[in-house]
Amino acid sequence: MDQFLFHLINERWTHPALDLFMAAVSDVEIWKPLLIVLAMCILIFGRFKGRAFVICLALALILADFFLVSTLKTAIGRRRPKQVQKVRMVQLERTHPRFLTLFRRPTIRYSDETDRNNSGPSFPSGHVTDNVIIGTMFVLFFRRWGWLYFVVAAAVSYSRIYLGAHWPSDVFGTAFMAAGAALLVAALAEFIWKRWAPRWAPELFARHPRLIE
């Protein structure tokens, strides 16, 4: 089933418009400046809830990316689709600044021997981990509006299969793992806030007895 679904998405359910969209949505460098500006705006104008959200999110991403993802990749060592078979790949044109690549036609090619060792292991997916954690934190802090981010998370997750970078099982497994990690970090942050905030910031704690309101 994993192979069947992968080949459907990677080889058959393709379109020139999707090629550019999927490659772009999966390219972190394009969106990094926007994400930094958004985080700064939330820190400055988001008041208590916004600042608590950014801090908890940063903590969850750091713990997931530098410990959970790297540890599991090394321990499991699952090879990517492009490392074990010929898959369809989409490459964006190199531009500076990076967002200009959105106005160029991407290159379509098929993986070969040069792709065997130029990427790390397949599971878990770093892209899926980050975006599911962001989506989960948005839901915890902003409730129904937070669910909107899962549209982005779903697009990024699908793009990893479309681009030949991950198996469908990688994406589904990573999504559950990332959601669990985000919930665990949020629970830990809430515990620390209730335990120590009355001593560190009694006035602030009086106004906000819960970190996630």
179 vs 183: CA distance, rounded Å: 6
Q: pLDDT tens-digit profile of 145-191? A: 889 999 999 999 999 999 999 999 999 999 999 999 999 999 999 99
Q: pLDDT tens-digit profile of 81-122? A: 999 999 999 999 999 888 899 999 999 999 988 877 778 899
Strands 107-110 and 88-91: antiparallel
Residue ranges of domains in the chain: 2-205
H-helix or E-strand spanning residue 205: helix 202-207
In terms of Cα–Cα distance, which of 191, 69, 86 is closest to 120?
Answer: 69
